[in-house]
Amino acid sequence: MSHSSDSARPSFSLGDIARDRLRIGSIDIQKLAPTRDERLFLVLSIFIGILSGLLVVAFRVAIEWIKVLLLGSAPHPGQYRLIFMPAGMGLVVAALVMWLFPGARGSGVNQTKAALYVYNGYISFKTVMGKFLTSALALGSGHSLGPEDPSLQIGAGVASVIARRLRMSRQRLRLFAPIGAAAGLAAAFNAPISAVLFVIEEVIGSWSAAVLGSIVLAAISSVVVARLFWGAEPMFHVPTVELRDPRELLAYAVLGVIGGFVAVIFATTLGYLRPRLRNLPRWTLICQPALAGLLVGAIGFFGFPQVMGVGYGVIDQAMHAEFTWQVLFALAFLKLLATTMSFSSGTPGGMFAPTLFIGAMLGAAVGTFEKLFFPHLAGSVGSYALVGMGVLFAGFLRVPLTSVFMVLEVSGNYSIILPVILSNTIAYLISRSLQPVPIFEVFSHQDGLHLPSMEEQRDEVHLHIEDALRPVDVPILNGSDTLAKASQTFASSGFDTLLVKMWDQNWYALTREELTGLEALQKPETTLEVAVRKDRIPELYPDLPLDSALPCFARWRVLPIQNRATHGTLEGILTERDVLDRYQER
């Protein structure tokens, strides 16, 4: 396992702690108050949302303060501090990460996911503090990274600390990390729906009804808090999009194609550089953020200070068509370079803002180009920038659902949905076909972790009962038939099992051995309804997962598969052999 994963792992057994905390003296809390966790869960979700919202607001303000203090109120090319500050702060941040806050390294998304799946939801308070401090210093000094992923980890950390203090059970403790993550991200983006979807798509990796309510509650609480400070206005103001001509969708499709390829380039570069830098001798780790800072600073010093820091202001400028298409392409390329260096060097900070930045620049470039050469077709440059953000989000982070809602939420503009869906889908498909493993999964594999993802689930082929179904070839009797008739049927058919349809349309599978036993104890004219045991075969339907049939074979040799519309009517039957054969065919 790599450095960060080692350092992030706590030095004591979390299982022991969890067990200890579930007891008061020798008494099990679960036994004493079995519904306590469930009730506290919802209350704490709100507290987590509020606290995460407050911390994220403080985090964002801290970044802005540090930026003004270190880079001045209006950084412009030619200022030497643009070079020195990121480099110097890179050294400070590297030292802090190396010796004080090892858990603060990286973006925060994978760390949160690891906390959920590997460390029972444990994120230390020290990691939260470290993430806050180091990310604020790095972003404030101009490193080309974003505040959203750290916000996500800060939220998850807050949730973890609170849940531990309240001695929640281990199962609950694990669920608190994604709740806090959603709260942190929602506050950072001012977008609760996107945050919830991202946590489901990227952190949890599956749709979990158990935690959905709490995630939504926490996300909304944190957004309410954030809006008390920032206001309810969307992050970016883009005019209403009107498709003047259906041919304009072609331009959006082109944007999707460009975004898809750029996403692949971005992901491939990061995936290539990050492990190579991390495998360099340990002493170089302290220099890498400084060198990355030097490069980013040099880009700023020699003409493009827009690349430095978070870059929301620049995104807004691009949306207001303040740059020519040549400058926009240059900014997209330089941001890609700067972010790759900053992130690969291990500087704490996220990938969301740079992704949005690059996407917005590409989108605005395509929009400006179109406006220049095909003015009768072009919509506003702002709408292209906005769609571009979604495109790279879908292609690079590989969260298609989140990408659509993120664009809608950050702009508060629902008229843009058609171009967004078109472009995002194209970018997503291109990226997925050229880079099968999503970037966060690549990072976790590089860290030695193999965590579940929704992308894996998308690739999985789920078998259903209908895939192993075969026609009804066993004899069928009614519950009103006698034991004698059943005996005759067995004798004439040669089958070991026959199905019995009871008066209430339920089914019973009678075996030859069972019939022999029944005949020894009861008269031949006894009806099967009376003679057989009282249990019945569970109702199974063709659309159910194939594995749902497996537990039934412990009791029944043959399973009748019923029609959902006509109760009691058979679609076919299933045996254990059929199921196993079907699985082995895959």
Chain positions contacting another protein, by CB under 8 A:
24-25, 27, 29, 31-36, 39-40, 43, 47, 50-51, 54-55, 57-58, 61-62, 64-65, 68, 73-74, 76, 162, 165-167, 229, 237, 239, 313, 316-317, 319-324, 368, 371-372, 380-382
**CA 530: distance to chain centroid?**
54
Q: Which residues, 6+ apart, have CB-to-CB distance to 574 below 8 Å? A: 465, 468, 469, 470, 540, 549, 558, 559, 561
Minimum Å distance from CB 36 to another protein?
5
> Closest distance between another protein and the C-beta of residue 318, in Å?
10
CB of 297 or CB of 305, closer to another protein: 305
| Pairwise CA distance, residues 509 & 495, whole Å | 12
Give min distance, CB of 238 to another protein, in A.
8
- The label of the residue with tokens 């500050």 reads 85
- Cβ-Cβ contacts under 8 Å for 351 (sequence gap 6 or more): 107, 109, 145, 146, 149, 339, 343, 396, 397, 439
Integer-rounded Cα Rg, in Å, for the chain is: 30
* Least distance (Å) between residue 194 CB and another protein: 23
Amino acid letter at 464? Answer: H
User: Between 29 and 277, whose beta carbon lies closer to another protein?
Assistant: 29
> Looking at beta carbons only, is 61 or 550 nearer to another protein?
61
- To the nearest whole angstrom, how small is the minimum distance from the Cβ of residue 234 to another protein? 13
Task: Find residue 511's DSSP bridge partners.
Answer: 497
Amino acid at 552: C
CB of 443 to another protein, least distance (A): 31
Which one, 186 or 381, has the nearer CB to another protein? 381
d(CA 308, CA 146): 10
Read off the amino acid at residue 470. R
Cβ proximity to another protein: between 55 and 356 the closer is 55
Closest C-alpha among 122, 93, 107 to residue 21: 122
Nearer to another protein, 65 or 302 (CB): 65
Minimum distance of another protein from residue 39's CB (angstroms): 5
**CB of 536 closer than 8 Å to CB of 506:** yes
Angle between helices 125-140 and 36-71 (to 10 degrees): 30
Helix (H, G, I), strand (E, B) or coil at 320: coil
The pair of structure tokens assigned to 56 is 């994220």
Nearer to another protein, 52 or 527 (CB): 52
